[in-house]
């Protein structure tokens, strides 16, 4: 039965036994891994799925989503619709002035955002917070752009005073400012409006700066939370030049992918910079995964604005609930406002492996995604409390005693 999934509509009579076995084994492992997953910001609801009937086609959105190619098995039109959906979500106004595309990942979106920034300002310096994702310094190095990290606050957002302090040392060079909507380890939101105001005050107006927002997770969460402050919203009217997000995080595509939207003026500049008779391709990857486009498109229009709004509410509430339960158990917990990410001391290997927690510097992270049930959270709280109880940490034990008293 499950094999019909792999065989698609061709329904081949049989695969060699060892292939069948390995695939079945893999399927079981996937199912088990999904059951207790808590550590990565991956939406595993996989709803609505793209019909398996489409899986045997080589769907390639080759080249510019707005230009296309003569390769017939493409879904460029659905990609443009999906990008228009994101443009509306991120307040792009007139979509004629924007360009967007589906890419391989959030990382690709960051690389391409920084590339557009460098094309606009070839001698610019990249500024990012110490809590930015590792793909940001990686992109800067790949593109040979000098990068300067800016201190962040203990809760993980960029320190605006520290930002103001580094600007005079840049020798008057323009900046490519990378801001994060939902940092990887702490789920913090940079104050986008505040950071842009700091640049303005230092004379770095739109003619001397490019602002890229890395919204891998929360650019698909914060816009759906009515009580989130305006400053952290990934909205183009703040003066943002490009925004990227991951397709397999909150969007919920069942394969790694991403999307980026940028002001068209930057994409057109890049097109002009490439001379010669070859047709210009404004994407990084050229051949692009049409199945990822289908998956994202089906989520945007099938799950819809209301579905994502419901998810954002439920997940932020459950994250706060988890944080509260762990605190009651005596844990030292960080859970930022409007965030799905809960940070605590790294437990033993057994728990880290079972719940697939991401760990850094002795701290571990859980991310409450739409597929994370309260039952899974309860199990985790019980397991984590048991572990905590066995720790020779006087402070935690005392807190617990106080709670029970
Ligand atoms: C996950 C993440 C990325 C990278 O996205 P991928 O899709 O995994 O490449 C970039 N930035 C932030 C803040 C992230 O959390």
E-strand ranges in 249-349 read: 258-263, 341-345
Q: What is the pLDDT of residues 178-190, one digit of tens each?
A: 999 999 999 999 9
Flag whether pLDDT at 12 surpasses 70. no
**What is the band of 4 on the pLDDT scale with cuts at 50, 70, 90?**
very low
Distance 106 CA to ligand 1 centre (A): 5
Distance 185 CA to ligand 1 centre (A): 11
Residue nearest to atom 15 of ligand 1 (CA): 184
Given the CA of residue 183, which atom of ligand 1 is nearest to it? 13
Q: What is the mean pLDDT of the chain?
A: 93
Residue nearest to atom 6 of ligand 1 (CA): 106
Output 253 or 396, whichever has higher pLDDT: 253
Given the CA of residue 105, which atom of ligand 1 is nearest to it? 7
Of 246, 251, 258, the residue with max ligand 1 atoms within 8 A of its CB, to mutate for a pocket test, comes to: 246
Distance 196 CA to ligand 1 centre (A): 22
| SS3 category, 214 | strand
Distance 90 CA to ligand 1 centre (A): 18
Q: What is the pLDDT of residues 81-119, one digit of tens each?
A: 999 999 999 999 999 999 999 999 999 999 999 999 999
Of 184, 221, 296, 367, the residue with max ligand 1 atoms within 8 A of its CB, to mutate for a pocket test, comes to: 184
Share of the chain above pLDDT 90, in %: 86
Residue nearest to atom 5 of ligand 1 (CA): 106
Among residues 264, 262, 255, the alpha carbon closest in space to that of 288 is found at 255
pLDDT at 1: 43
Flag whether pLDDT at 6 surpasses 90. no
Q: Omega of the bond prior to 372 within 30 degrees of 0, cis?
A: no
Ligand 1, CB cutoff 6 Å, lining residues: 105-107, 133, 135, 180, 182-184, 214, 216-217, 246, 258
Residues in the chain: 405
pLDDT at 272: 76
Flag whether pLDDT at 290 surpasses 50. yes
**What is the band of 2 on the pLDDT scale with cuts at 50, 70, 90?**
very low
Distance 255 CA to ligand 1 centre (A): 14
Given the CA of residue 181, which atom of ligand 1 is nearest to it? 13
Flag whether pLDDT at 78 surpasses 80. yes
Tokens matching residue 244? 């990227």
pLDDT at 167: 98
Distance 136 CA to ligand 1 centre (A): 9
The question of whether 151 is a catalytic residue gets the answer no
Contact indicator for 220, 257 with CB cutoff of 8 Å: no
Of 135, 188, 242, 285, the residue with max ligand 1 atoms within 8 A of its CB, to mutate for a pocket test, comes to: 135
Contact indicator for 90, 219 with CB cutoff of 8 Å: yes
What pTM, to 2 d.p., does this model score? 0.93
Distance 214 CA to ligand 1 centre (A): 8
Of 40, 42, 106, the residue with max ligand 1 atoms within 8 A of its CB, to mutate for a pocket test, comes to: 106
Q: Is 110 left (phi over 0), alpha (psi -120 to 50) or beta?
A: alpha
Q: What is the pLDDT of residues 30-45, one digit of tens each?
A: 999 999 999 999 999 9
Flag whether pLDDT at 368 surpasses 80. yes
Distance 216 CA to ligand 1 centre (A): 5
Q: How far apart are CA 217 and CA 308, in angstroms?
A: 13
Contact indicator for 111, 143 with CB cutoff of 8 Å: yes
Element (H, E) at 148: strand 147-150
Tokens matching residue 122? 């070839």
When pLDDT is averaged across residues 194-217 and rounded to a whole number, the result is 98
């Amino acid at each position: 039965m499950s094999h019909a999934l792999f065989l698609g509509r061709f329904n081949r009579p049989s695969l060699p036994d060892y292939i069948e076995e390995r695939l079945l084994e893999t399927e079981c492992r996937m199912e088990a891994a999904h059951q207790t997953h808590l550590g990565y910001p991956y939406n595993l609801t996989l709803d609505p799925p793209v019909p398996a009937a489409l899986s045997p086609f080589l769907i390639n959105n080759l080249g510019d989503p707005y230009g296309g190619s003569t390769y017939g098995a493409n879904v460029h039109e659905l990609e443009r619709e999906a990008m228009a959906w994101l443009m509306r979500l991120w307040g792009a106004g007139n979509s004629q002035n924007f360009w967007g595309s589906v890419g391989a990942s959030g990382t690709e979106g960051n690389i391409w955002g920084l590339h557009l920034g460098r094309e606009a300002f070839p001698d610019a310096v990249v500024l990012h917070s110490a809590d930015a994702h590792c793909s940001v310094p990686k992109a800067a190095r790949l593109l040979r752009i000098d990068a300067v990290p800016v201190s962040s606050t203990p809760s993980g957002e960029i320190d605006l005073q520290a930002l103001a302090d580094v600007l005079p040392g840049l020798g008057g060079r323009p900046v490519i400012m990378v801001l994060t909507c939902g940092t990887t380890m702490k789920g913090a939101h940079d104050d986008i409006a505040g950071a842009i105001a700091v640049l303005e005050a230092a004379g770095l107006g739109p003619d001397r700066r490019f602002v890229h927002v890395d919204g891998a997770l929360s650019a698909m969460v914060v816009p759906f939370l009515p009580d989130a402050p305006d400053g952290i919203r990934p909205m183009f009217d703040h003066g943002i030049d490009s925004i990227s997000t991951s397709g397999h995080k909150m969007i919920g595509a069942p394969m790694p992918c991403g999307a980026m939207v940028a002001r068209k003026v930057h994409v057109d500049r890049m097109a002009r910079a490439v001379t010669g008779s070859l047709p210009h391709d404004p994407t990084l990857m050229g051949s692009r995964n049409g199945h990822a486009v289908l998956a994202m498109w089906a989520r945007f229009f099938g799950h819809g604005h209301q579905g994502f709004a419901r998810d954002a509410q439920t997940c932020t509430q459950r994250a706060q609930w988890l944080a509260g339960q762990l605190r009651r158990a005596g844990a030292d917990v960080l859970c930022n406002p409007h965030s799905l990410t809960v940070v605590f001391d790294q437990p033993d290997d057994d728990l880290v492996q079972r719940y697939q927690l991401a760990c850094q510097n002795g701290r571990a992270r859980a991310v409450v995604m739409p597929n994370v049930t309260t039952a899974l959270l309860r199990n985790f709280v019980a397991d984590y409390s048991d572990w905590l109880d066995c720790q020779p940490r006087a402070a935690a034990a005392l807190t617990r005693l106080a709670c029970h008293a």
